[in-house]
Amino acid sequence: MSENIQENSNDSNKQQATKPAASLFNLKGLLNKNFGDLVFENTTRFFAFIVLAIVFLMAFEMVRQSLPTIKAFGFGFITSQEWDPVNEQYGALPFIFGTLFSSLVALLIALPLSLGVAVFLSEISPKWLEQPLSLMVELLAAIPSIVYGLFGIFVLIPWLRKVVEPFLGRELGFLPFFKGPPYGFGMLAAALILTVMVLPIITSISRDIMKSVPASQREAAYALGATKWETIKIVLSGSKSGILGATLLGLGRAVGETMAVTMVIGNRAGISLSLFDPSNTMASVIANEFAEASSKIYLSALIEIALLLFIMTIILNAVARLIVWSVTKKYKVAVH
Amino acid sequence: MSPSTHYKVRKAKSRLMVFLSLLCLVLVIVPLVMILYYTVSKGINYINWDFFTKMPAPVGEAGGGMANAIVGTGILVAIGSLMGIPIGVMAGIYLADKEKSVFASTTRFMTEVLNGIPSIVVGVVAYILIVIPMKRFSALAGGFALGILMIPLITRTTEEMIRLVPHSFREAGLGLGIPRWKTTLFIILPAALKGIFTGILLSIARAAGETAPLLFTALGNRFWSTQLDQPIASMTVFIYDYAKAPFDDWNQQAWAASFVLIVLVLLLNILFRLATRKRFAT
């Protein structure tokens, strides 16, 4: 039967009645479609379905495995500060704080820098220079995070300990952010490494968004006698929401970054505003303790942290993508 | 203020902002240059034939290499590719074909979501799905985690590369009465193949550079192992262990391994950009 359909599929198109059948796989065209098309379409659809299924499977499995701690601690898991595997007390607040604090400090430094670079690439740079410079910025994103970590341990941290932190402590020690002895390992190191790691993503998306602002707007500004900077301001205000999306994507990256942070943050749970203090993030506590988690509830607690991280990054990415997509749709330019 | 001084102030402000923007650029390029400089200058002394062919030396002995880690990374990436490439390419073909269906948009969105999930979380899932049932750390679990990480990258580049093929290709095929699936497989796909292939290479580069999802799946191994159901060494976990170790000799080897990794990753990235630049530009 299948061969018949394949051979005279085009002739039989109009003669055969269609059988409507609602299902995930497109079967309603079974009789009036080329059989090969049908097989091909449903095969590729199946693989697309796998991608969807993976995300749901991940969520399902993590929820299932973290049920013991969800039942035992409930909402207190997020609000409690006590992380004591020996006495089976699990509160993730110090790690959530560490993740958010390090990421926000990184964003605070990275955002102006990224915007500066994006402005340069999109508005100022001569054409021939733009490509190689963009490539260089994007190569920063390609460097594996373990290499950032290595660089952090052996180059950044000695420099922070000997030069930067003593200086900051001396000059700005009255602020809560620069208190305590300069260890080198700690929040500041993590935030700086994260800064470098989120720069490329914010830069490249902001640049694409700025480039998608129609040239007519710049021409209009120049025609009215605006200077370069005044024109750039108009472009910037036109790309505001896109830049917000880019920032959220950068935040998503910073929140989930593991190796580089684990290697430089000092890995000591505690909530402190001082950038000099060692800390711990959600990702780094998983990296450090997962392989050694001896009891079932300990493992469950770590998996719940992974689940929280999963939820955080999904929300951040979803919101950011929607923003970036709606902006680029407005200008009808493809941006990735 | 006279109009002309006002103009001069505006002009000066504009120049200042352009200068600041340039300064930002310099500040961003500096870390790249520094990382490359340190990796090369610290790693190059240790790069020799032994480094690629010898096993790690016992503690206290000089020399040794990371042959097992190189092979291990190869095996892990191969497992990841076996899983990631078929799923990624097929899903990409589907998405390129069905631009606007609800299911396609949802999948496209989920691909982006999957791409944004931290690799450590993927490692946790691989642990739940494979390490717990098998009751031991294994190369299989590590490769599975890498496979999941490769899927969204491959899906996206496949879709993009197919989209870059001019519409006239498809129209020509369909116009000749060739079925849609044959048009896709034998006309459009070959035209996009180069881009898809380099996209795959790029995802392999990313997988080879991943550490976090391997920590508690493939674990690491100081001995030679190619068995899929046993813990296996990898270059990235090798770097991690050697960077934390209190021996100068080992730290040096960590730099050397980073050097190898960076060369690999950057070469593949530049290759990708060269191959995908100006495809079918009008």
Q: Are residues A99 and A64 in the same domain?
A: no
A13 part of a folded domain: yes
Q: pLDDT for A168-200, tens place per residue?
A: 999 998 888 998 889 899 999 999 999 999 999
A115 contacts in B (CB within 8 Å)?
A: 24
Asked if A150's CB is within 8 angstroms of B258's CB, the reply is yes
> In the structure encoding, which two tokens stand for residue B126, read together?
């691989």
> In the structure encoding, which two tokens stand for residue B263, read together?
């060369």
Q: pLDDT for B110-166, tens place per residue?
A: 999 899 999 999 999 999 999 999 999 999 999 999 999 999 999 999 999 999 999
Burial of B275 (0-12, 13-18, 19+ CB in 10 A): middle
Asked if B125's CB is within 8 angstroms of A61's CB, the reply is yes
Residues 188-217 of A with CB under 8 A from B: 196, 199, 203
A80 part of a folded domain: no
Residue B218, φ and ψ in degrees, nearest 5: -85, -20
- Is the CB of residue A148 less than 8 Å away from at least one CB of chain B? yes
A238 part of a folded domain: yes
Q: Are residues A286 and A325 in the same domain?
A: yes
Q: Which of these three, A73, A107, A129, is where a domain ends? A: A73
Q: Do A289 and B213 meet the contact criterion of CB atoms below 8 Å apart?
A: no
Q: Domains of chain B (ranges plus CATH)?
A: 51-55+62-276 (1.10.3720.10)
Banded pLDDT at B63 (limits 50, 70, 90): confident
**How many CA atoms lie within 13 Å of A213's alpha carbon, on the beta-carbon side?**
26
Q: What is the 3-state secondary structure of A251-298?
A: HHHHHHCCHHHHHHCECCCCCCCCCCCCECCHHHHHHHHHHHCCCHHH
Asked if A249's CB is within 8 angstroms of B116's CB, the reply is yes
> In the structure encoding, which two tokens stand for residue A58, read together?
């991940």
Lowest mean pLDDT among A300-304, A326-330, B204-208: A326-330
**How many CA atoms lie within 13 Å of A188's alpha carbon, on the beta-carbon side?**
24
Average pLDDT, chain B: 90
Report pTM: 0.90
Asked if A37's CB is within 8 angstroms of B97's CB, the reply is no
Which CA distances in Å does A196 have to A149, A201, B188, B244?
Answer: 12, 10, 39, 22
Burial of B64 (0-12, 13-18, 19+ CB in 10 A): middle
Is the Cα dihedral A98, A104, A109, A114 positive or negative?
A: positive
Q: Are residues A142 and A221 in the same domain?
A: yes
Asked if B119's CB is within 8 angstroms of A256's CB, the reply is yes
Lowest mean pLDDT among A250-254, A332-336, B268-272: A332-336
Q: pLDDT for B216-225, tens place per residue?
A: 999 888 888 8
Residues 114-133 of A with CB under 8 A from B: 114-117, 119-121, 124, 133
Of B87, B124, B211, the CB nearest to A62: B124
A111 part of a folded domain: yes
Asked if B22's CB is within 8 angstroms of A36's CB, the reply is no
Mean pLDDT calculated for residue range A275-303: 93
Whichever domain contains A168, its CATH number is: 1.10.3720.10
* A216/chain B closest Cα distance in angstroms: 20
Q: Are residues A68 and A97 in the same domain?
A: no
Domain count, chain A: 2
Q: Do B116 and A312 meet the contact criterion of CB atoms below 8 Å apart?
A: no
Nearest CA in chain B to A42: B94
A51 part of a folded domain: yes
Q: pLDDT for A107-151, tens place per residue?
A: 999 999 999 999 999 999 998 999 889 989 988 989 999 999 999
> In the structure encoding, which two tokens stand for residue A170, read together?
């001396």
Specify the higher pLDDT residue, B184 or B272.
B184
Q: pLDDT for B15-48, tens place per residue?
A: 999 999 999 999 999 999 999 999 999 988 888 8
A323 part of a folded domain: yes
Asked if A142's CB is within 8 angstroms of B116's CB, the reply is no
Q: Is B200 helix (H, G, I), strand (E, B) or coil?
A: helix
Is the Cα dihedral B39, B40, B45, B50 positive or negative?
A: positive
> In the structure encoding, which two tokens stand for residue A17, read together?
């009645």
Write out the residue range of the structural domain in which residue A212 sits.
92-331
Q: Which of these three, A73, A103, A131, is where a domain ends? A: A73
Determine the Cα–Cα distance for residues A98 and B188; give it in Å rounded to an integer.
49
Q: Do A149 and B212 meet the contact criterion of CB atoms below 8 Å apart?
A: no
Lowest mean pLDDT among A101-105, B98-102, B197-201, B205-209: B98-102
If you search the block for the tokens 């989920």, which residue do you land on?
B110
What DSSP designation does A27 have?
Answer: -
B107 contacts in A (CB within 8 Å)?
A: 48-49, 51-52
Determine the Cα–Cα distance for residues A247 and A227; give it in Å rounded to an integer.
27
Asked if B22's CB is within 8 angstroms of A249's CB, the reply is no
* B200/chain A closest Cα distance in angstroms: 15
Q: Do A193 and A260 meet the contact criterion of CB atoms below 8 Å apart?
A: yes
Q: Which of these three, A21, A42, A73, is where a domain ends? A: A73
